[in-house]
Structure 1
Amino acid sequence: MSTTEVFINGLGLIGSSLARAIKKKNEEIVITAADKDKDTLDYAIANKIIDRAAGNLAAVKTADIIILATPVDQIVTTLHELSKMQLKKDAIVTDVGSTKQTVLKAAKELIQPNVTFIGGHPMAGSHKAGVTAGRADLFENAFYFLVAPKAKDKQIEKLQLLLQETNVKWFEVDASTHDKLVGQISHLPHIIAATLVNRTQDEFADSPLGMKMAAGGFKSITRIASSDPDMWSAILKTNTTILTTQLAKYQQQLSEVQDDLKNGNQENLYNLFFQAKNSRDKLSNQKKYILPDFYDLFVNIPDKVGAIARVTQLLACNKINLVNLQILEIREEIDGILQLTFMKEIDYEKAKKILSGQEYRIVKGE
């Protein structure tokens, strides 16, 4: 039986994590990858994430499965290029782009018989980026959208078998539904967070305190404003029609809140928060169905030299993976709050137990 060959274009966080998961399933699968960064390819080869490095797309000609793991605009460009190449018979081309209608439109150019395109989108990520941040378990329990209007069951099963070690929850959907969904729960929140940060910065431009006072709830609601501007401007460009409609509806609701404030309509303002609280609280009761989230642990630490280092040393010694940490509040003679962020609930629970056992006071944790 011949060895399966996989070609991955783009070895960032997602592409390198998929490569790791594929190798975890079967080390005999041959992975060739292309990336614009030579250092990325060198790292991937040295760490046996891939078997071969390619300087261009020529290597796709022998690939059984081609994975496009670059930003959406580059995926579209690559699909144009692939449409002019002779691909292997029965090859499967798939992507991991954040929007699907634009990608599916470009994929129509793949008119070669016996070549199948399956749109994909794993709903997972990390605070870290690049090939060094990739992990085989990055996608564990995450939803992995599949948009495959012309694919046969056996072709979808072939892709799912290749990515079996990702341990994702497969979810087939049409392109327009996918883009509307991610527009509302991902793209729109990124716009709102970025706008809120910029508006706050402008508001306090002349204040000696200003953004220095922004902590707690403000940092929580605007965390995603720290996302890569190159990536997010490219993502939004491919979902403009849906987003303009969603933004208009959001602006309308803000206008209604503004009117309620002007008119002193306390009942409407109460209902605003009451309905939002009920809807948000229901998310905690749907853990089997919601997208994976980060787990935040808030620890009270003394304001003295070495306090933070001791916390991180405890986590490292117990092999607990910490994806982010930040100080929410440090003032003289008052203990500070250290926010520790974990990707896995098991790491969160283990850290909570260990730190509590070392007499650290857990201030908050959900």
Structure 2
Amino acid sequence: MFHGMCGAETFHQTAPSVSLCNMKAGVKVDGKKRVLLIGTGLIGGSIALAIRKETEAVVIGYDINNEQAEKAKQLSVIDKVATNFRKEAECAELIILASPVEETIKIMRELATYQLKENVLITDVGSTKRNIMNLANELWNGDITFIGGHPMAGSHKTGVESAKAHLLENAFYVLTPQPCTSYEKIEELKDLLKGTKANFLVLDAAEHDYIVGVVSHFPHIIASGLVTHVKKHANRNPFINILAAGGFRDITRIASSSPRMWKDIVLQNRDNLLDLLDDWIMEIRNMQSIIQTGNEHLIAGFFEEAKTYRDALPVRSKGAIPAYYDLYVDVIDQTGAIARITGLIAEQEIDITNLNIIEAREGLLGVLRVSFQTEADLSNARKILEQNGYKTY
């Protein structure tokens, strides 16, 4: 995530007649490829860690929030903090724009005023691609290689302190090249990003936006709509809030995502989302008509069709919405019970992303839900807890 707003004045400097990069000494350090990471948050930081793990590269980080960049350096996510943005951009062989789409557009316009290296590769991590790619074509017209990117993974935590080299492992990583981009350039970017261990998928930008609109952006809108709908009824009956605290919170988890980020996404993918909302209105009317019939076979068929499709979806594949890896642990209402569970997990150096007490009544059995970042973390935690006598599921 890119921290803070960055208008054009943030980056603008008077353009000199020659590049600020020392072509003899400023391109590589000890023969290593020079990478500029713009935005030192969760995704950018995870990509940087993956690159440094598998590739001979020096990663220079820049963030409008300098404290975040310094934190990335302290955590060894990047090699150094950029002190001269323009110089680092003109020296870089790979530029990664790890910022929200609206900010990425501003940065691209500023980069277009710089004398970038002829062989530089520029990529981004935005979840919408059509506007980004249209702008890349307008700014560089193939003179500079811009390959859009969308790593379809994330975490329920934010910030560089949550970055992991394996965050994108087995996730789909969509690349959207310009029409004139060569196969060799696409393969070069894949090679630079090989440390992510992601599954690369090359798509047209418009196709990408339609697909993620269906499986990610639209569900986020519906989840937020469900929450708003329940809130309206909760104002009429206080028991609704109480009863919505369990399963309803689970099925609407994604509604807790960043409002600012989703505002940008909706504006960038507005046409697709409006079409999908029209389809959804028709689907709602269809469900309404099925229920109105009172026909038990039609009603059962509606639920059966949905269940069949949902159950056939890949179980272990990462999709466009980050998965939740939850472990449920039975606990007795005793002092220190939760601390003992989290202590056992911490001893194995397993990261916990969230804790939630599902049910706990005095003196009776309660359920603790422990959320993890990966399935491997969940499996390892379950093993150690069961070895210590805890019942998990």
TM-score bucket of the superposed structures, by smaller chain: over 0.9
Q: Within 1, Cα distance between the matches of 2:312 and 2:142? A: 47
Q: How do residues 59-98 of structure 1 correspond to structure 2 at under 5 angstroms?
A: 59-98=88-127
| Residue 4, structure 1, aligned to residue 48, structure 2 | no
- Does the CA-based 8 Å contact 1:91-1:114 persist in structure 2? no
| Residue 185, structure 1, aligned to residue 215, structure 2 | yes
Aligned to 1:168: 198
Aligned to 1:17: 46
Question: How far off is 1:344 after superposition?
Answer: 2.1
Q: Within 2, Cα distance between the matches of 1:13 and 1:327? A: 27
- Does the CA-based 8 Å contact 1:101-1:176 persist in structure 2? yes
**Amino acid of the structure 1 residue aligned with 2:223:** A
- Does the CA-based 8 Å contact 1:301-1:338 persist in structure 2? yes
TM-score of the aligned structures, taking structure 1 as reference length: 0.93
Change (3 A) 1:68 1:289: closer
Aligned to 1:210: 240
**Amino acid of the structure 1 residue aligned with 2:382:** K
Q: Deviations over 1:116-174 (max 9, x none)?
A: 01010000000110111111111011000011132212211221111111100011111
| Residue 102, structure 1, aligned to residue 131, structure 2 | yes
TM-score of the aligned structures, taking structure 2 as reference length: 0.87
- Does the CA-based 8 Å contact 2:129-2:208 persist in structure 1? yes
What are the ranges of 5 or more consecutive residues in structure 2 without an aligned counterpart? 1-29
Quick one: which of 157, 172, 194 aligns to 2:187?
157
Aligned to 2:77: 49
Where 1:325 maps in the other structure, the secondary structure is strand
Aligned to 2:151: 122
Q: How many residues align?
A: 361
**Amino acid of the structure 2 residue aligned with 1:16:** G
Q: Deviations over 1:161-214 (max 9, x none)?
A: 111111000111111111111111111111111111121122112433332222
Aligned to 2:67: 39
- Does the CA-based 8 Å contact 1:34-1:56 persist in structure 2? no
Question: How far off is 1:112 after superposition?
Answer: 6.7
Aligned to 1:345: 375
Question: How far off is 1:2 after superposition?
Answer: 4.0
Change (3 A) 1:49 1:301: same
Out of 333-342 and 145-154, give the one that drifted further: 333-342
Q: Within 2, Cα distance between the matches of 1:337 and 1:192? A: 29
Change (3 A) 1:206 1:304: farther
Quick one: which of 280, 284, 303 aligns to 1:273?
303
Q: Within 2, Cα distance between the matches of 1:21 and 1:357? A: 33
Aligned to 1:297: 327
Q: Within 1, Cα distance between the matches of 2:191 and 2:332? A: 50
Out of 29-38 and 126-135, give the one that drifted further: 29-38
Q: Deviations over 1:276-303 (max 9, x none)?
A: 110111124x635856733211111112
**Amino acid of the structure 2 residue aligned with 1:248:** D
- Does the CA-based 8 Å contact 1:83-1:109 persist in structure 2? no
Question: How far off is 1:334 after superposition?
Answer: 3.1
What are the ranges of 5 or more consecutive residues in structure 1 without an aligned counterpart? none
Percent identity, aligned pairs only, is 40
Where 1:315 maps in the other structure, the secondary structure is helix
Q: Within 1, Cα distance between the matches of 2:250 and 2:165? A: 28
- Does the CA-based 8 Å contact 2:334-2:363 persist in structure 1? no
Quick one: which of 233, 247, 250 aligns to 1:220?
250
Change (3 A) 1:305 1:154: same
- Does the CA-based 8 Å contact 1:260-1:266 persist in structure 2? no
The CA RMSD over aligned residues, in Å, is: 1.9
Out of 246-255 and 52-61, give the one that drifted further: 52-61
Quick one: which of 255, 267, 272 aligns to 1:237?
267
Where 1:298 maps in the other structure, the secondary structure is strand
- Does the CA-based 8 Å contact 1:82-1:110 persist in structure 2? no
Change (3 A) 1:35 1:104: same
